[in-house]
Amino acid sequence: DTAVSQTPKYLVTQMGNDKSIKCEQNLGHDTMYWYKQDSKKFLKIMFSYNNKELIINETVPNRFSPKSPDKAHLNLHINSLELGDSAVYFCASSQELKGYTFGSGTRLTVV
């Protein structure tokens, strides 16, 4: 059983399109995150949700909209994709003061 699963694993799309990435965790964790990893491997927090409530929203363009239908799911919708959005996006979950469990990542390529 995968603890944090995200789909799709690969996503190739054209500029201007709208796409979604889904994430689900079966660990019973209260907090879920979206991270962006660029080509230099920097991991940057984008959003954090605690029990379906947004608690962190870093300086991310408003073309990115997270949605948490319940505490086990956190989806990421991206409008009007741009070349600079190409990266690997990781979903993660955690309980307070415990380590994160990451998904295996979604490699987004915008052409």
Partner 1 sequence: GENVEQHPSTLSVQEGDSAVIKCTYSDSASNYFPWYKQELGKGPQLIIDIRSNVGEKKDQRIAVTLNKTAKHFSLHITETQPEDSAVYFCAPQGGKLIFGQGTELSVKP
Q: Report the residue number, 66 or 103, with the smaller CB distance to partner 1.
A: 103
Write down the least CB distance from residue 15 to partner 1, Å: 25
CB 105 within 8 A of CB 11: no
Nearer to partner 1, 75 or 94 (CB): 94
Question: What is the closest distance, in whole angstroms, from the C-beta atom of residue 12 to partner 1 in the complex?
Answer: 16
Question: Which residues form the interface with partner 1 (CB under 8 A)?
Answer: 4, 33, 40-45, 48, 56, 90, 92, 97-105
- How many helices (H) and strands (E) would you count in the chain? 0, 11
Smallest distance from partner 1 to CB 105, Å? 5
DSSP state of 85: G
Question: Residue 85 Cβ, how far from partner 1 at the closest point, in Å?
Answer: 19
